[in-house]
Amino acid sequence: MVKVLVFGSFDIVHKGHVYFLKTAKALGDELVVVVGRDKTIKEVKGVLPLHKEKERVKDVSSLGIADEVILGGLGDKFKVIEEVGPDIIALGYDQESFSYGLKGELVKRGLVIKVMRLDGFKVEKYKSSLMREKLG
């Protein structure tokens, strides 16, 4: 069983997210999605998400793509990786905050996990920040 792990805010779920999740799922047998906590998103992006964390978990779960959807932790953001034990971590094409230092942190913790960056889907149209701007 190959377990794939992805991370994201998933604030405004759109076709780009569906593409990302389906592409990640195709890399293995099981897909675990970590949805960022409200507090974490505020720290990383400077703004609170439009939708509360439990609602975002529900939205991602309702897509029926992931085998498991969980909330990220509030402390050590890498702890969830140790808990899930993935074989692959799939990053979105524009995911920077979490990916910075990821490989070094995995080595430091003695974790052997393949890290892959996935392509985006019609990024000029399906990008959360653009969609958020339109909602004003």
**pLDDT digits 0-9 by tens, 53-62:** 999 999 999 9
Strand order in the sheet with 88-91: 68-71, 30-35, 3-8, 88-91, 114-117
For residue 79, what is the enclosing H or E element?
helix 79-84
Task: Please state, in angstroms and rounded to a whole number, the distance separating the CA atoms of residues 82 and 95.
Answer: 20
Task: Please state, in angstroms and rounded to a whole number, the distance separating the CA atoms of residues 119 and 130.
Answer: 18
Q: Is a pLDDT exceeding 60 seen at residue 21?
A: yes
Pairing of strands 68-71, 30-35: parallel
CA of residue 73 relative to chain centroid, distance: 13
Closest CA to 5 of 99, 97, 94, 109: 99
Cβ atoms 15, 126 nearer than 8 A: yes
* pLDDT tens digits, one per residue of 66-112: 999 999 998 888 899 999 999 999 998 877 766 667 888 899 999 99
Q: What is the mean pLDDT of the chain?
A: 87
What is the phi-psi region of residue 44: left when phi exceeds 0, alpha when psi lies from -120 to 50, beta otherwise? alpha
- The tokens for 112 are 């052997």
- What domains are defined for the chain? 3-135 (3.40.50.620)
User: CA 70, 102, 128: angle at the middle one, nearest 5?
Assistant: 55
